[in-house]
Amino acid sequence: MTRPVTTLFMLMSVDGKISTGAADELDVDKDFPHISGVKEGLHQYYEIEQTTDLWSLNSGRVQAKMGVNEREIPAKTPVTFVIIDNQHLTEHGIRYFCALAKQFILVTMNHNHPAFSIREPNLHIIYQEKLDLAAMLGRLKSEYGCERVTIQTGGTLNGLFLREKLFDYVDIVVAPVLVGGKDTATLIDGKSLYESSQLTELGVLELESVTPLEASYIRLRYKVIS
């Protein structure tokens, strides 16, 4: 394979929502810890997250929602972070990831991104005129030695990965809550299908395991077969 093995790893509600609402200030990481019946089992998701790949791919928007542009500079971890971002990460956010990551790879289509003004030995920038996920993954393997990567992007980027057949595994922790709202981000957003000829773009899954967790949480693991 000319790209890394990919796993979509996410926390979602029973109705497939990956956020608690349509506004950026609403977020499961911020809100679930305060909801009775949900907070009690939330720790399991973060414990499982610690066992995922040492390469983590996310988006600047998601990370900005989580507050990396304001957080204190963290201690170093063994994880390599790949962040797709055009405008959400500030200079502080870039330095945050440089401090946190073994290697920090920024993927951007913005030639004026603040990362270009930063000189850190573990900062690498992949510039693309137009986002090309397949080419990006190919470079992660050929230039940086990435063999496996865990993807935790938002619904729109997840939709692009799906349509381009770039998911190999799906690993979902389901929280015992219904969120609702047609504008609230779901596991897979992006363009809808309108013609039967587009059904080849669907991701067909084979169940590998179902694990009941504490406090009515469950974990679902699938292999993508087409």
Q: How far is CA 6 from the centre of its chain?
A: 11
pLDDT digit string (tens) for 23-72? Answer: 988 999 999 999 999 999 999 999 999 999 999 999 999 999 999 999 99
Residue 24: per-residue pLDDT: 86
* Residue at token pair 């067909």: 204
Query: How does pLDDT run across 216-226, given as a tens digit for each residue?
Result: 999 999 999 99
Residue owning tokens 């973060």: 46
Token reading at 140: 């992660």
Q: What's the CA gap between 136 and 106, in Å, rounded?
A: 11
Residue 16 has pLDDT above 90, yes or no: yes
Burial class (CB in 10 A: 0-12, 13-18, 19+), 214: exposed
Q: Across all residues in the chain, what is the average pLDDT?
A: 97
Total domains in the fold of the chain = 1
- pLDDT (average), residues 132-150: 98
CATH of the domain at 143: 3.40.430.10
pLDDT (0 to 100) of residue 214? 98
- Residues pairing with 58 in the sheet: 83
Model confidence, pTM: 0.96
- Whole-number percent of the chain with pLDDT over 70: 100
Q: Which domain holds residue 211?
A: 5-224
pLDDT, position 35:
98
Tens digits of per-residue pLDDT, 61-112? 999 999 999 999 999 999 999 999 999 999 999 999 999 999 999 999 999 9
What values do phi and psi take at 16, rounded to 5?
A: 80, 10
